[in-house]
Amino acid sequence: MRVRTAVAISAAIATAAAMLSACSAGDPSSDSDQIVVWGTWDMEDDASGMAEGAAALQGMIDSFESETGTSVVYESVPFDQLFQKVSLAVQSGGDIPDVVETASQEVFSRPDVFMDITSLLADAPFQSQVGESEKTTCVHDGVRRCVAVNIGSTAWFYSPSLLGDVAWPQTDEEWLTAGAELKAKGLYIASFYAGRDAAGVEQTWAPAIISAGGEIFDANGKPAWANDATVDVVTWMRELLARGYVPETNFTGDFAAGEQPFIDGDAVGLRGGSWSAQFVPPLAEGLPTGDAVVGAAPSIDGGPGYVTLYGQGWAVPEGAANPEDAAAFLAHLMTPSNQATWATAAYRIPTNAEAFADPGFAEVFASNQAFYTAIQNLTDDYGLVLPTSPCYTEALTRLGETLQTLMLDSNADAMDALLAAQNEVAGSCG
């Protein structure tokens, strides 16, 4: 996803507008003047870290309605309920939205839920403007099931002033060495979220397990985490916790609890995401000035230090009443100016290369170039898209529960617990 020379943005937008107008005509027998959109952004929110992103989305909805004459009925759904809600709607034949926001990892795990939109978007201008990261998250074996409006990844941040003369660790052994030196100064080496749900596995555990040479799912999407690499990661994490190098709330708290030690200055590092500056003041204030920087992800057993790659995906569910206008809305989100607007609001990297020339994003990029360049390099070189599975969310949740139990009970046999959880989920994963 390297930045390339931009072509005329105005021409791209004009072409996109023409395509949108053509798509919006739709089938006269269908309700082609309205689409229903489900997303995680609360349009009534004017205070939280997601407020700017919500405002940006509302602006894109307004411009879509103005350009196409198609109205948008938007419903906000909590992020941890959205995937289940749309899956149940499709399975039951209930009220199915035309467009839904979804994590890119989930789209190909459930092809029965999300429509193949390859042909609907075949002629959209963004197809020639996006890079490999977008296609990696939303196109598998030539089939497109989503669009990635922007790319984000997990990231390890740290404060150079707190780190002092200790080098930011890059390997599991270096983490233990640096942890001891920082503990002597009354500091944790890092805080992070590794709780008992799918997100904790996606963002913290899975990159480490795969770095160590293990896997979460096999080639058929069956759970396969009961392996020596996972045991090695559990052993390493247990040692960090037992020695007091990381806080226990990393494993028992929520996302906010994982951020708080870094916010308070008690932890040198933070495993957040490219989006974390929305929520963590020391990052918003420190990244532009160099008081906070992006560091390497931990290498386990000599493997690469992976970060989890996310495409902020939007898809069309199976059974949608108006897929043509839904596809037009997706194309609208993918224009250079819209991507630039959203990336600026949400600390994300546009997937449309021409967005980098948009004046709004170009100014933000220039003022915080070290951050954006570091995230680009991470996603290009160490971005990890987790394998798909028909029981993706259920399996990762069960694994997260098991890993938390192992962290809180140091006497529990790791392989036995991992194998029991794996066998439990495998029986219903098909």
For 156, the token pair is: 């390890």
What is the domain count for the chain? Answer: 2
Token reading at 31: 């309700």
Task: Evaluate whether residue 16 is within a structural domain.
Answer: no
Is residue 1 a contact partner of residue 380, using CB atoms and an 8 Å limit?
A: yes
pLDDT of residue 150: 84
Burial (CB < 10 A; 0-12, 13-18, 19+), residue 147, is buried
Give dist(CA 272, CA 278) in Å, integer. Answer: 11
From residue 41, give the alpha-carbon distance in Å to each of 194, 334, 346. Answer: 24, 18, 11
Is the domain of 302 the same as that of 314? no
Domain assignment present for 127: yes
Same domain, 74 and 108: yes
What is the SS3 assignment for 274?
A: coil
On whether both 361 and 419 belong to a single domain, the answer is no
Query: Looking at residue 277, what is its pLDDT?
Result: 87
Q: Does one domain contain both 116 and 253?
A: no
Structural domain contains residue 24: no
**3 part of a folded domain:** no
pLDDT of residue 32: 61
Are residues 130 and 277 located together in one domain of the fold?
no
Domain span at residue 420 reads 154-308+386-426
Is residue 48 domain-shared with residue 192, that is, in the same domain?
A: no
Which candidate, 345, 361, 373, places its Cα nearest to that of 54?
345
Q: Which residues of 17-46 are buried (b: 16+ CB within 10 A; e: fewer)?
A: bebbeebbebeeeeebeebbbbbbbeeeee
- 277 and 142 belong to one structural domain: no
Q: Please check whether residues 147 and 158 belong to one and the same domain.
A: no
* pLDDT at residue number 287: 93
Per residue in 348-390, pLDDT (tens digit) is 788 999 999 999 899 888 888 899 889 888 888 898 888 889 8
Question: Which tens digit of pLDDT belongs to each residue from 200-241?
Answer: 999 999 999 999 999 999 999 999 999 999 999 999 999 999
Which segments in the chain show pLDDT lower than 50? 1-30
φ/ψ of 149, rounded to 5, equals: -65, -35
Is residue 244 a part of any domain in this protein? yes
Residue 110 resides in a domain? yes
Model-level pTM greater than 0.85? no
Q: Are residues 128 and 271 in the same domain?
A: no
Q: Length of the chain, please?
A: 430
Same domain, 180 and 288: yes
CATH number at residue 137: 3.40.190.10
φ/ψ (deg, to 5) at 161: -70, -35
Q: For residues 320 and 421, state if they share a domain.
A: no
Tens digit of each residue's pLDDT (9 = 90 or more) over 275-316: 898 889 999 999 999 999 999 999 999 999 999 988 888 999
297 in any annotated domain: yes
Question: Residue 29 falls within a domain, yes or no?
Answer: no
Is 286 in the same domain as 414? Answer: yes
pLDDT of residue 408: 96
